[in-house]
Amino acid sequence: MAEPDIIDDDIDVPDKAGYRRRRAPDLEGWEGAGQVADGLTGPDLIQAHVKLLPNAPGVYRMLNRSGDVLYVGKARSLKKRVTSYAQGRGHTNRIENMIRLTAHMEFITTRTETEALLLEANLIKRLRPRYNVLLRDDKSFPYILLTEDNEAPGIFKHRGARSRKGAYFGPFASAQAVDRTINSLQRAFLLRTCTNSVYESRTRPCLLHQIKRCAGPCTGEVSIEAYGQMVEEARDFLSGRSQKVKSAMADAMQEAAEALDFERAAIYRDRLAALSHVQSHQGINPQTVEEADLFAIHHEGGLSCIQVFFFRTGQNWGNRAYFPKADASLSSQEVLGAFLSQFYDDKPCPKQILISETVAEQALLAEALSIRAGRKVVISVPRRGEKRDLVRHAQANAKDAHGRRLAETSTQAKLLRGFAETFGLDHPPRRIEVYDNSHIMGTNAVGGMIVAGQEGFVKNQYRKFNIKSKDITPGDDFGMMREVLERRFSRLVKEYGKPATADPSAQDGEAAGADAATPPWPDVLLIDGGKGQVSAVMTVLTELDVADRVTVIGVAKGVDRDAGRERFFIPGQQAFTLPPRDPVLYFIQRMRDEAHRFAIGTHRARRKKEMVKNPLDEIAGIGPARKRSLLHHFGTAKAVSRAGLDDLRAVDGISEAMAQLVYDHFHEDRGV
């Protein structure tokens, strides 16, 4: 039997993995070959596909009628794995529901099962299928970057692709850990943290030099050779040779003291203290673990918590707790195994991975990660010694974080039930969107949207809206609210379509991108305002034909704008208040205050950007180099605006045509 063609035209497949991809000349060719599957769903459809599958490794996708991916899986033999779904025996409720909803399947064959595992992890992270274990809060980790693209290297916090030349140290568990470490390293090694453009344009030492946190290489306060020695010391320290660095500093301090150079001795004393401060914040620094990531899971009550610790150069760079989205029927081994494959899909892998319990296909996962890293990666479950103690410590942390999350979730669920009872909702809301505007006399106007759900505030779904319309009168809150809601719900309808029922969260996750905890469509809109704002919102929702899909509640400040006297407005109902000590009232106040904080912060950031905006940035063709030349020559942008053509031509790097362009920009009425 011929092997089936591949029907997927939009999958990102890393070239280095060498996947074998074969397609029919077009998509219709495949559909023609699979006419037996037309109109079938569930086990019957899967059985029809089984007849066409080979005994070869690969990846399969199960989709519903809307084309949304329900599940992504890999198999050593596609035929055997898919056959198990069609047999209808021994399936959990989760698998049975998934099979029932399956209306289409797609397949990709790979050369090896290892390649299939790598591709599976890539697709799960990109498509976020409902029935897979999903890694949430998957932000990139911060690193410390010691640059190598300048005569005087700097030290910086770095996220994302490693495109800049330099040495990278990490990962760190949080941005705060990086900031704290860099601050201490500044005091210890006096390295600069300014950009290359600032370094090249300095004419006198900056404030950091004055407070003894930078050696001042920009203005020659220290020679490049002496500064390079400090850079090497920092590199040694971050590479794990901290004792060597501290010993050298201690010897230098003693030597200075014996020479009665107490001022220089005090400098070394302060630098030693800064190094000690860095190490004091690193917690457990193991003696036998040079480079490893440690994973420990606590699985109870349908919730999994995975604690991840990072050890690099023999130092602990922090830890982070994850709560992956997984079905309650899955075991801790299944959750941990799926988590590991997704975790390293876009992150560098250490030489050693320590886990709290054995996972399925552990050897296969180690082989896949070794291929991705280009060197051997070992995955092991420590049984004795210091490594076992580290795992137990991580498990204790996972258990504590698990308990805190359960307590928070329980409290949140109780508040949501009370919210539903107070406002007459048929079910506790799973997604509440809160809107607020911020501006000063209409300037730099922004709208803010925050999201609250079953697990509290969902910060990765917050949105900000820069008010763009020129027709809105400055300070028109109704007009700004209309624009924000029009943009928000127009995009929501475009991306997910209109919900089929008045209860968007009850649609069984059919909408693309729906999450079990926080669906894309809101159940409730909380608007900071009274009857007028609610009316403006209802007008927008009616025009988009979604007014009956969402409950709109206006929250107006009470008498004398006192907290606790808020009035609530719901379309078609009389305004009312809640008792001053009602927990639901406190819950609403907390959401409103969070929306206000987010909108104010966004407005301040935009206003600050406008305040520091340079008029030269508006001139086409004026980049950083020409801008720097003009400012060095004239001192300020205002002086540039007053300069004549001859003065502009005299600036180094400014041609006659460019001088004319700059002059015309500031003299639009010339010749009138």
d(CA 136, CA 128): 10
363 pLDDT more than 80: yes
Q: What is the mean pLDDT of the chain?
A: 79
Mapped onto helix, strand or coil, the DSSP state of residue 297 is: strand
pLDDT number for residue 297: 93
Q: Assign 501 a pLDDT band (cuts: 50, 70, 90).
A: low
pLDDT number for residue 279: 54
Ordered alpha helix ranges (H), 612-652? 624-634, 637-642, 645-649
Looking at per-residue confidence, does 137 or 223 come out higher?
A: 223
Mapped onto helix, strand or coil, the DSSP state of residue 150 is: coil
Q: Assign 36 a pLDDT band (cuts: 50, 70, 90).
A: very low
Q: Assign 274 a pLDDT band (cuts: 50, 70, 90).
A: low
pLDDT number for residue 524: 92
pLDDT above 90: percentage of residues in the chain? 8
Q: Assign 380 a pLDDT band (cuts: 50, 70, 90).
A: very high
pLDDT number for residue 507: 47
Q: Parallel, antiparallel, or unpaired for β 524-528 and 551-556?
A: parallel
* Reported pTM: 0.66
Q: Assign 10 a pLDDT band (cuts: 50, 70, 90).
A: very low
Residue 439 lies in a domain: yes
pLDDT one-digit tens code per residue, 306-324: 999 888 877 777 788 888 8
Q: What is the mean pLDDT of residues 32-54?
A: 68
Q: Which residues fall within 8 angstroms of residue 159, CB to CB, at 6 or more apart?
A: 140, 141, 142, 143
Residue 10 lies in a domain: no
Does residue 456 share a domain with residue 338?
A: no
d(CA 586, CA 89): 50
d(CA 212, CA 225): 19
Q: Assign 24 a pLDDT band (cuts: 50, 70, 90).
A: very low
Does residue 85 share a domain with residue 169?
A: no
Residue 140: DSSP 8-state: P
pLDDT number for residue 43: 82
What are the Cα distances from residue 47, in Å, to 5, 75, 101, 613? 18, 17, 14, 64
Number of domains in the chain: 5
Rounded CA Rg of the chain: 30
Residue 420 lies in a domain: no
Give bridge partners of residue 294 from the DSSP assignment: 309, 354
Looking at per-residue confidence, does 211 or 295 come out higher?
A: 295
Does residue 314 share a domain with residue 205?
A: no
Does residue 329 share a domain with residue 268?
A: no
Residue 488 lies in a domain: yes
Asked if residues 45 and 105 have their Cβ atoms less than 8 Å apart, the reply is yes
Does residue 592 share a domain with residue 472?
A: yes
28 pLDDT more than 60: no
Asked if residues 434 and 528 have their Cβ atoms less than 8 Å apart, the reply is yes
Helix 385-422 × helix 583-611 angle, to 10°: 110
Sign of CA dihedral 316, 321, 325, 330: positive
d(CA 318, CA 172): 6
pLDDT number for residue 483: 83
Q: What is the CATH number of the domain that holds 316?
A: 3.30.420.10
Residue 496 lies in a domain: yes
What are the Cα distances from residue 668, in Å, to 240, 658, 665? 61, 15, 6
Least confident of 189-198, 261-270, 389-398, 557-566: 557-566
Does residue 561 share a domain with residue 527?
A: yes
Does residue 521 share a domain with residue 396?
A: no
d(CA 518, CA 505): 8
Q: Tokens 């919730």 identify what position?
A: 303
Q: What is the CATH number of the domain that holds 522?
A: 3.30.420.340
Q: Tokens 């359960």 identify what position?
A: 406
Nearest of 117, 154, 143 to residue 19 by alpha carbon:
117
Token digits of residue 541: 């929702």
Q: What is the CATH number of the domain that holds 106?
A: 3.40.1440.10
pLDDT number for residue 441: 57
Least confident of 137-151, 378-392, 427-441, 598-612: 598-612
Residue 232 corresponds to which amino acid?
E
d(CA 53, CA 107): 9
Q: Which residues fall within 8 angstroms of residue 224, CB to CB, at 6 or more apart?
A: 151, 152, 217
Task: Please provide the DSSP assignment of 75-126 as one string.
Answer: ESSHHHHHHHHHH--S--HHHHHHHHH--EEEEEE-SSHHHHHHHHHHHHHH
Ordered alpha helix ranges (H), 288-354? 332-343
Residue 411 lies in a domain: no
263 pLDDT more than 50: yes
What are the Cα distances from residue 499, in Å, to 517, 551, 571, 581? 17, 14, 20, 36
Q: Which of 360, 386, 404 is the last residue of a domain?
A: 404
d(CA 20, CA 311): 37
pLDDT number for residue 641: 80
Q: Which of 71, 92, 127 is the last residue of a domain?
A: 127
Does residue 320 share a domain with residue 265?
A: no
Residue 171: DSSP 8-state: -
Torsion on CA atoms 30, 32, 38, 42, rounded to nearest 10: -30
Residue 337 lies in a domain: yes
pLDDT number for residue 182: 83
Q: What is the CATH number of the domain that holds 629?
A: 1.10.150.20
Q: What is the mean pLDDT of residues 403-418?
A: 85
Does residue 604 share a domain with residue 477?
A: yes
Does residue 387 share a domain with residue 309?
A: yes
Half-sphere exposure of 531 (CA within 13 A, CB side): 5
pLDDT number for residue 276: 63
12 pLDDT more than 50: no
Q: 411 φ, ψ to 5°?
A: -65, -45
Residue 305 corresponds to which amino acid?
C
Ordered alpha helix ranges (H), 549-612? 583-611
Q: Which of 96, 127, 158 is the last residue of a domain?
A: 127
Q: Assign 137 a pLDDT band (cuts: 50, 70, 90).
A: low
355 pLDDT more than 90: yes
Q: What is the mean pLDDT of residues 489-502?
A: 76
Nearest of 321, 317, 347 to residue 177 by alpha carbon:
317
Residue 412 lies in a domain: no
Does residue 246 share a domain with residue 171?
A: yes
Structural domain for 336, as ranges: 292-404
pLDDT one-digit tens code per residue, 141-200: 888 888 888 888 988 988 877 778 888 887 777 777 788 778 877 877 888 988 888 888
pLDDT number for residue 138: 62
Looking at per-residue confidence, does 614 or 185 come out higher?
A: 185
Q: Parallel, antiparallel, or unpaired for β 58-63 and 69-75?
A: antiparallel
Nearest of 34, 29, 57 to residue 47 by alpha carbon:
34
pLDDT number for residue 671: 42
d(CA 67, CA 8): 12
Q: What is the mean pLDDT of residues 276-295?
A: 69
Does residue 161 share a domain with residue 119?
A: no
113 pLDDT more than 60: yes
Q: Assign 22 a pLDDT band (cuts: 50, 70, 90).
A: very low
Residue 6: DSSP 8-state: P
29 pLDDT more than 60: no
d(CA 302, CA 472): 50
